[in-house]
Structure 1
Amino acid sequence: MKGFNRGIVAVLALLIGAAAVAQEDADDAPIDDRPPADEAESPALPTAESLTTIAVEPLRAPAPPPAASDSEEPRQIEEIVVTAQKTRQSLQKVPISVTAVGGEFIAEVGAQDLAEVSLYVPNVRVDSDDLGSPQMFIRGFGTNSFNPSFEASVGLVQDEIYYGRAGYFTESMFDVDRVEVLRGPQGTLFGKNTVAGVFNVSSVAPEGELTTTGRYTHGSNGAQRLEAAIGGDLGDWGGARAAVLWRRQDGEVYNQYLDRDEEKMDQQAGRIRARWYVAPELRTELLLQTSETHTAFWPFQLYKLDDDTRAYLEPFDPDIEDDPYNFRTSFDTPGTLDKGHDTVALNTQWQLGEVAGLDELTSVLVLGYSTFYIDQLNELDVSPADISRLDSHEDHKQLSAELRFHGNAGSLFGLGTGAEFVAGAFFYRSDYTLFARVLAGQDLGSYLLTSDFRQLAGCNASVDDSLDPVLQPLLNPALCSDGQSIPGIPLIGELLAAGIGDDWYQFDYDQRVDAVALFGQLTWELGEHWALTPGLRYSTERKQVLSAGNAHCRQKDAAPDPSLAPPCAMATLLQADNYTKPDLRRSESDYSPKITLQYFANADVGFYASWAKGFKSGGFNAISFTDQDLEYEPENAQTVELGIKSQWFDRTLRINATLYQTKFDNLQVLAFNGVFFDVSNAAAARSKGLEADLMWLTPWEPLTLMASIGLLDARYDEYAGAPAPIRNPETGALQVGAKQDLGGQRIAYAPRATGTLTPVLTIPLGRFVGKLSGDLIYQGDQYTDTDLDVNAHVDPYTLYSARFILSNAEQTWSVSVGGANLTDERVLSRSVDAPFFPGTYFTQQISGRQLFAALSLTF
């Protein structure tokens, strides 16, 4: 399928070029005078008093003020129709805590991915420094996807397709119409396992006047991005849209040992959406999407080297250092990460009209097939010594189908003033394969002579006469003295490597998932001011897994009876056993109900109270070193929300706010055990807080203000047996493998407060329009590791961004310059224990100052 990626991108580029040449003829082509097909999904938008639509106002770049005229209409905040609840709806009526970010705003601020978009969404965090294992958190809850058997607690739905791997979050984001972030359990209507929330992404639809757009951006660190699209109605038969993305950048982290930039990236992607009006009541749309990404990987730096570790590493790189804020690293493996996906989907909508007393009944059938892969070679010790590497290959295939019906009625059993429902069935099947090896490097032998190794080994090893003669002296109890480490002499590693030979520990993991769900939701208008919305989802899921872990080395693989052979070096270091579990199975089912009560004081002010449950399935540990504790249990959530959706001052001020409390049981966590990572359930946790969005068209017409705030208190109720910091925070002593009780303590990646403020000043400049805007982005203090180590604590910080856009009055071209993190704040986004160097940490930084210039064209 990888060849298909390049082919479709080339075809898309040719389509865009040909369409641009034929633009004038296309403009003269007849345009279907029927409403766009998306509008045909439901009746025309009703009045504000009606509840048959639900609304959301996206964070978007305000349009320049129109030229003054005698009949000028008063300014009002524009409503954007979205699909937050599977039908076209408007946010001021939706009883959900939602923030929507428009595609135009995303382009203007230069956001490259969902992680950068999440900065503008309160109580949401997306950490995408690891392109293969991004982490997503909403209201403090999420999933550390470094363990690939974990399914994400935050779901991703794009163009109505649910994507079942966390790695899709870091796929290319281009030609976006809007991103909707739905907080809290969303299992009633969306996909599976959406226990913390959903990112609902919509690309630009193939409708309206035929338009060609292009945008080229050049920025810091050699960043280049070219995005182009053409699409619209092509005649009575339908329309199409083709979009392509090409992106290239140098990395921000310099590897002084390899003299290269880590995270240097090449990316290309393409999408085709073709729509046919098969009949006046029937519309079908084909989606083809592909992407490929290649990057030098990965961007970790060392932090807090102790004297023994520094003495061992300096012979390999005399300039080794542990400043985590200077964007410099030093390791020997030229790691790579290649990833990509191909998706084919078919979306068919049939307006059935009036059926059995239901008005405007519509059926929607969404079929999707997607493949996804990640191939990576990474440095595990992040040092100039060649101790260990990870060679990992993941392949994922998924097939999904959703059939749903929605419609409305004048009443429910003769009661109330109206009702709207959506109900259907969802099917999902995936096949996931992981093949990974933890490889011994040629300096592993010299590492086994260090105090770091003795500390990890617990100094409890004894000499075993069956050991390879090269390994016997390395496990002598006499090495457990308090003496200094032997310096890292490359020659020692080379000599011992000849004795150790090729040596690795291998994971084989195959997983089949079959999930089926039935769902339904009804909005019942009880009268002029009240509405009741109950919903229910019943889901079943089955997992069938093959999981194996096996050591491989020269003496073992060549032995007639491997069980009698001396142990392999890497397996000994990892304390790993051989195991094969060929037929692990799980089967579970769940009922996830919700109920919401709304009260509308008037057309512009409404309140809601809701209660909802969520469910995320259990599974098996894909990277376990033993056959113990392979299985983990499902997690469950319950959320209560109280919210207000309001517009004031003739709809020039919009304030939407939600108070919430969420309780999780059997929270699934990934924890470092001193050598590698274990998965388990962390008993109970809860989160409570506030999130609010504001947009204000100020009395001074050129000025618009947008703002958001999130307050968050997320804590473990119970978490006995949690991992403790490897270095005691009070004494400084190492305590490898120690445990602690985190009951009552904060959850990692849960800042107490977040907030944004974005003023936008639109200035008429004769025949041109200038737009000056900026961002203040505040992030409260937080921990970035499960054990709440003080060295993983990040203090509060504020980022500042600004941009200036000059365009013509018709908005057919614009030139923009801007920058993010203008004060060049140096902040750690992640700090975790280093696997081979107890007491040392691997860190990652947020991006430093980034400047850019962009040219946009529309015709």
Structure 2
Amino acid sequence: MSQAVAAAIALGATPAFAAQGDEESVSLQAVTVTATRRAESLQKVPVAVSVVDGEQLERDNRNGVASIVQQVPSLNFRTGASNKDTSLFIRGVGTISTSPGVEPTVATVIDGVVYGRPGQATLDLLDLERIEVLRGPQGTLFGKNASAGVLNIVTKAPTEEPHGYIDQSYYSGNESRTRFGIGGSLIPDTLKGSLTTLFGSYDGNVDNRANGHEVNGYNRKGVRGKLEFTPSDDLTLTLAADYMQSHDDAPNGVVSKALTPAFAGALAPVSASGHSRDIASDYRSHVEDINKGLSAQLDWNLGDYTLTSITAWRGWNNTQWQDGDRLATITSAFPGTEDKGDLSYDQYSQEVRLASPKGEFVEYVGGLFYMHGKDDETYRRTLVTPTGSQRGVADYTTTSDSYSAFGETTLNFTSRLRGIAGLRWTHDDLEYDHRRVSTSATTVSGIQPGTRSSGSVDEDGWSGRLGVQYDLSDDVMAYVTYSRGYKGPAYNVFFNMQPRDTDALKPETSNTWEAGIKASAWDNRLTTNLAVFHSEYDNYQANFFDTVANQVVTRLINAGSVSTEGVELDYALQATQNLKLSGALAYTRARIDQFSCPAGAAASCNVDGKTLPYSPDWKSYVRADYSIPLANGLDVELGTDYSWQSEVQYDISQNPDTTQGAYGIWNASIALADYTNGWRVALLGKNLADKSYSPMLASGSGYIYRAVPRDDERYFGVQLRKDF
């Protein structure tokens, strides 16, 4: 959320902000980003970027990608019973699919490593420095699956000075989070390292009335370590390893509306309502997830040039159990559906970049990229009836290889005027193999008969950027850019895959115009960043709700053409040495221009001109932070924030029952800190107005169900931190 929000968040992390002693010299803290693959001032990069501070996220009990959408108005998130089923949206555009044969529209990059599947990065993130949300196509420098934007996540680098900390938090609902970190020099001026651990648990805020258990919670533990080896002034090698194990027991949706009296009766003793936090389930929905990785980054200064190599491997294992019928009773009218899915995913990537020196007439970043991914899944579905059961098992493998060559150049025509030109060529190879066996030779509820298919496709795509950047003054920069986005071909590979799903989807492309202005005023005490954009997407890859084997499913198709346009404003004001105000506002008009109705669609296709799912027209975020220095060296820190969004539709078929009305969330905190002696204690309240809302609404067979967020009701917490 550009410097406005980044600066606001930085306030909460330091007691005195960027003051220079008297009120006239107070200024906002400078923010450096790597949105252009170089370390540059956020106010100077010709890209619309939102920046969120990692430490402040933990202080706000926002512990992963899903939780930052309240702070970044242009970002939205689709949740699910498993992190495997999640999706990110930027400026109204994203891909809703659990298929391993489709790329996410929004790329996730952590310390330079591209994550091939969106579910890999939606759990807790360890040792965060910051999250950069790059809005709009970023296909030139970030390449793979970046046709709508990028989450560029940066973790903390090891420091020379020895240090450590322990951070313990407790929240109502029996949520506990413990972080412990150590780091410092191992060999002076040559080797330094850091190690961070996390232990988190939460009982949940949903009750299973069938057995009295509390669900929608988690148990997580993880570790991240870094070693930074500097044998000379010109060479740095950074080795990183991370491991996160998670057990989540999110229910497979809470029924919010029964569409038939029969289903309402079967749901008893639970009554469906828009604010329900009760389920009645006889089959336990939960997820076991392991995410791990290794990377090596080499930075070599060749004179004034910098050569960077990033070699990485990531592994992901996910097993999910889901109660497909969402009932605790089994009758002939409502048979039980019990699902179990096993996923094993490995990816290998290599990127090499060369960056020219800054300050020359021609500045450039160029490189090569390769990524290989292989996904193996087994999905089992059991249909349980009063007279017996039927079973289907599908095994499917998806393999992808992506090759890219890219470069972006900045031409410094004058000290104020710059031109931008970038281009990327991508070649994608994608293949799948799918086999399903069934105990029934005919279709039964939720299970298609046995089948087998395989396929392969390869495509070449071009993406790039052209633009001009001009400094209107020393404190005001304006830019205009044109960006071409590309997302590779796809296959709709899933349990109930049918012959109609065996054709490859065409690549998705986008064309975006963006104009922006970034300004500082009042001796850098005020910043305002404004961006205006218009994007058009062709062969938009989207999920359309359909009925397969008498069950509602999402069917991946080339949905046609869509467009999104809007205005984004970020601002921050250091009003006094102790008071900081900040906020962001986004208007996003994301619409379906022409929808290509799939043959045999069960839902309405009359959606031209309607809104894209997970895209409210308006979102806003405001924050105030106030620090009170005490005479004894202590500081009292007060903070409050409020996020609001307008009505949002979650279903591309425009189901009126899957619309979430406008809502706002108010949070506040108070802390006492002694930074000289390295301790801080804080009290915080979340959703103080006790506003219930749904981050996801979807249709089932005869009902509507919703996801229940952590802050669906008011809750409180205490945080304690000691640095040593």
Measured against the shorter chain, the TM-score band is over 0.9
Partner letter of residue 230 of structure 1? Answer: I
Contact 1:221–1:251, Cα closer than 8 Å, also in 2? yes
1:629 partner amino acid: D
Q: How many residues align?
A: 704
2-structure distance, mates of 1:150, 1:383? 31
Query: Within 5 A, what are the aligned runs for 1:267-286?
Result: 267-286=220-239
Alignment partner, residue 672 of structure 2: 806
Partner of 2:628: 763
Q: Which residue matches 1:461? A: none
1:642-657 map, 5 Å: 642-657=515-530
Distance in 1, matches of 2:156 and 2:44, equals 24
Mapped pair 1:580 → 2:452:
yes
Task: Note the C-alpha offset of 1:112.
Answer: 1.5
Aligned counterpart in structure 1 of residue 74 of structure 2, from 123, 128, 153 = 123
Matched, 1:394 2:346: no
1:233 to 185, 204, 208: 185
Q: 1:258 to 1:657 in 2, by over 3 A?
A: same
C-alpha contact (below 8 Å) 1:56/1:81 kept by paired residues: no
C-alpha separation in 2, matches of 1:67 and 1:641: 32
Superposed, 1:297-446 pairs within 5 Å as: 297-310=250-263, 313=266, 318-353=268-303, 360-386=304-330, 387-408=336-357, 411=360, 418-441=361-384, 444=385
Aligned partners of 2:136 and 2:149 also within 8 Å: yes
Equivalent residue letter for 2:642: L
From 498, 505, 517, give the equivalent of 1:626.
498
Q: Does the CA contact (< 8 Å) of 2:392 and 2:437 recur in 1?
A: yes
- 1:97-108 equivalences under 5 Å are 97-108=48-59
Q: Which amino acid aligns with 2:77?
A: V
Q: Sort the Cα spacing of 1:68 and 1:539 in 2 relative to 1 into closer, same or farther, 3 A.
A: closer
The offset of 1:254, in angstroms, is 0.8
Secondary structure (helix, strand or coil) at the match of 1:150 reads coil
Kindly indicate whether the alpha-carbon contact (under 8 Å) linking 2:289 and 2:318 is maintained by their aligned counterparts in 1. yes
Closer, same or farther in 2 for the Cα pair 1:71/1:379, shift >3 Å?
Answer: closer
Query: Which of 190, 211, 222 is the aligned partner of 1:258?
Result: 211
Question: Displacement of 1:422 after TM fit?
Answer: 0.6
Q: Aligned equivalents of 1:410 and 1:68: distance in 2?
A: 30
SS of corresponding position for 2:147: coil
1:39-188 equivalences under 5 Å are 57=6, 59-62=8-11, 63-65=14-16, 74-130=25-81, 131-188=83-140
Which piece of structure 1 moves more, 531-540 or 741-750? 741-750
* Counterpart contact for 1:340–1:372, Cα < 8 Å: yes
CA positional deviation for 1:578? 2.6
Residue identity opposite 2:76 in structure 1: R
Shift of 1:573: 2.5
SS at match of 1:825: coil
The Cα of 1:543 is off from its aligned counterpart by 0.9
Structure 1 counterpart of 2:562: 685
Distance apart, 1:190 and its partner CA = 1.1
d(CA) in 2 for partners of 1:635, 1:282:
40
Match among 446, 462, 469 for residue 598 of structure 1: 469
- Change over 3 Å in CA distance of 1:117–1:56 after alignment to 2: closer
The reply on whether 1:704 has 2:580 as its aligned counterpart is yes
CA shift, 1:659, in A, is: 0.3
1:165-195 per-residue CA deviation (whole Å, 9 max, x = no partner) reads 1111323212111000001111111140111
Displacement of 1:329: 1.0
* Counterpart in the other structure of 1:478: none
Within 5 Å, give how 1:4-23 maps onto structure 2.
none
Amino acid at match of 1:76: S
Structure ID, larger Rg: 1
Find the aligned partners of 2:75 and 2:161 in 1 and give their Cα distance. Answer: 36
Cα deviations by residue, 1:252-278 (Å, 9 ceiling, x for unpaired): 111111221222311000011001112
Larger RCO (alpha carbons 8 Å, 6+ apart): 2
* Contact kept? 2:248, 2:287, Cα under 8 Å: yes
1:200 matched to 2:157? The reply is no
Structure 2: where are the runs of 5+ without partners? 331-335
* Counterpart Cα distance in 2 of 1:651 and 1:71: 14
- Percent sequence identity is 24
Task: Say which structure is richer in strand.
Answer: 2
The residue that corresponds to 1:473 in the other structure is none
Which residue identity lines up with residue 340 of structure 1 in the other structure?
I
What's the CA shift for 1:755? 0.4
Secondary structure of the residue aligned to 2:439 is strand
Give 1:506's aligned amino acid: V
1:739-780 per-position Cα deviation (integer Å, ceiling 9, x unaligned): 322111111111010001101111112221011010110111
Partner-residue secondary structure (3-state), 2:119 = helix
Q: Does 1:851 align with 2:716?
A: yes
Alignment of 1:466-615 (within 5 A): 493=386, 496-497=387-388, 501=389, 503-552=390-439, 567=441, 571-574=443-446, 576-582=448-454, 584-615=455-486
TM-score scaled to structure 1, two decimals?
Answer: 0.79
Q: Please tell me the residue identity of whatever aligns with 1:83.
A: T
Q: Distance in 2 between matches of 1:299 and 1:770?
A: 42
Change (3 A) 1:657 1:343: same
Q: Name the Cα RMSD after superposition.
A: 2.1
Cα shift at 1:55: 12
Cα displacement (A) at 1:304: 2.5
CA contact (8 A) 2:18 2:27 kept: no
TM-score between both structures, scaled by the size of structure 2: 0.94
**Could you tell me how far 1:73 is from its partner in structure 2?**
7.7
For residues 699-749 of structure 1, what are the alpha-carbon distances to aligned partners after superposition, in whole Å with 9 as ceiling and x for unaligned? x3321001000101000000142799xxxxxxxxxxx92432211111111
Change (3 A) 1:136 1:608: same
Letter in structure 2 aligned against 1:217: S
2:532 counterpart residue number: 659
Find the residue that maps to 1:60 and give its secondary structure.
helix
Cα distance in 2 for partners of 1:303, 1:809 equals 47
Cα deviation code 1:173-228 (max 9, x no counterpart):
12111000001111111140111111111111012422112211100211100011
Shift of 1:71: 7.8
Letter in 1 for 2:619: T
Say which SS state the counterpart of residue 116 (structure 1) adopts.
helix
Cα deviation, residue 661, structure 1: 0.5
Q: Which amino acid aligns with 2:568?
A: E
Amino acid at match of 2:612: I
Residues 5 and 582 in structure 2, CA contact (< 8 A), matched pair in contact too: no
**Residues 126/58 of structure 1: CA separation in 2 closer, same or farther (3 Å cut):** farther
Supply the AA of the counterpart residue of 1:843.
R
Q: What displacement does 1:67 show? A: 12
The answer for unaligned runs of 5 or more in structure 1 is 1-53, 354-359, 412-417, 445-492, 554-566, 725-735
Q: Which amino acid is the alignment partner of residue 398 of structure 1?
A: Q
Structure with the higher fraction of residues in helix conformation: 1
CA contact (8 A) 2:4 2:570 kept: no
**Distance in 1 between the 2:618 and 2:381 partners?**
39
- Once residues 142 and 399 of structure 2 are traced to their aligned partners in structure 1, the CA distance between those partners, rounded to angstroms, is 21
What secondary structure does 1:351 align onto?
strand
Q: Deviations over 1:541-575 (max 9, x none)?
A: 1012112233135xxxxxxxxxxxxx35xx33347
For the structure 1 residues 810 and 620, does the alpha-carbon distance in structure 2 shift closer, same or farther, using more than 3 Å as the test?
same
